[in-house]
A and B are shown apart, each in its own frame.
Chain A
Amino acid sequence: MSTGWVVVLIVGAVTVLFKAAGPVFIGRRPLPPRLLSLVEVLAPAMLAALVVTQAVGGDRQLVFDERLLGLAAAVIALRLRAPLIAVMVAAAATAAVVRLLT
Chain B
Amino acid sequence: MEPSRLRDGLRAAAPLALAPILFGASFGLLAGDAGLGWAGAILMSATTFAGSAQFAAASILDSGGGAAAAIVAALLLNALYVPLSVSVASIFPGSRRRRLVESQLIVDESWALSGRGGRFDYHVLVGAGLLFYVLWVAGTALGTVAGDLLEPNAIGLDAAFPALFLALLAPYLRSRRALAAALLAASITFVLIPFTPPGVPIVAAGVSCLLGLRR
Q: List residues of A whose CB falls within 8 A of some B CB.
A: 2-8, 10-16, 18-24, 26-31, 34, 36-62, 66-67, 69-71, 73-75, 77-78, 83-85, 87-96, 99
The reply to whether B202 and A21 form a contact with Cβ atoms under 8 Å apart is no
- Give Cα distance in the complex from A14 to B77, angstroms: 12
Q: B107: nearest residue on chain A (CB-CB)?
A: A19
In this complex, how many residues of chain B approach chain A with their Cβ under 8 Å: the count is: 107
The reply to whether A95 and B67 form a contact with Cβ atoms under 8 Å apart is no
Question: How far does the Cβ of B212 sit from chain A's closest Cβ, in whole Å?
Answer: 4
A87: chain B residues at CB < 8 Å are: 163-164, 166-167
Question: How far does the Cβ of A64 sit from chain B's closest Cβ, in whole Å?
Answer: 12
Main SS class of interface, B? helix
Is B99 in contact with chain A by the CB < 8 A criterion?
yes
The reply to whether B103 and A12 form a contact with Cβ atoms under 8 Å apart is no
The reply to whether B159 and A14 form a contact with Cβ atoms under 8 Å apart is no
- Give Cα distance in the complex from A62 to B201, angstroms: 12
Question: How far does the Cβ of A59 sit from chain B's closest Cβ, in whole Å?
Answer: 6
B211: chain A residues at CB < 8 Å are: 41
The reply to whether A21 and B82 form a contact with Cβ atoms under 8 Å apart is yes
The reply to whether A4 and B184 form a contact with Cβ atoms under 8 Å apart is no
The reply to whether A89 and B48 form a contact with Cβ atoms under 8 Å apart is no
A29: chain B residues at CB < 8 Å are: 86
Question: How far does the Cβ of A67 sit from chain B's closest Cβ, in whole Å?
Answer: 4
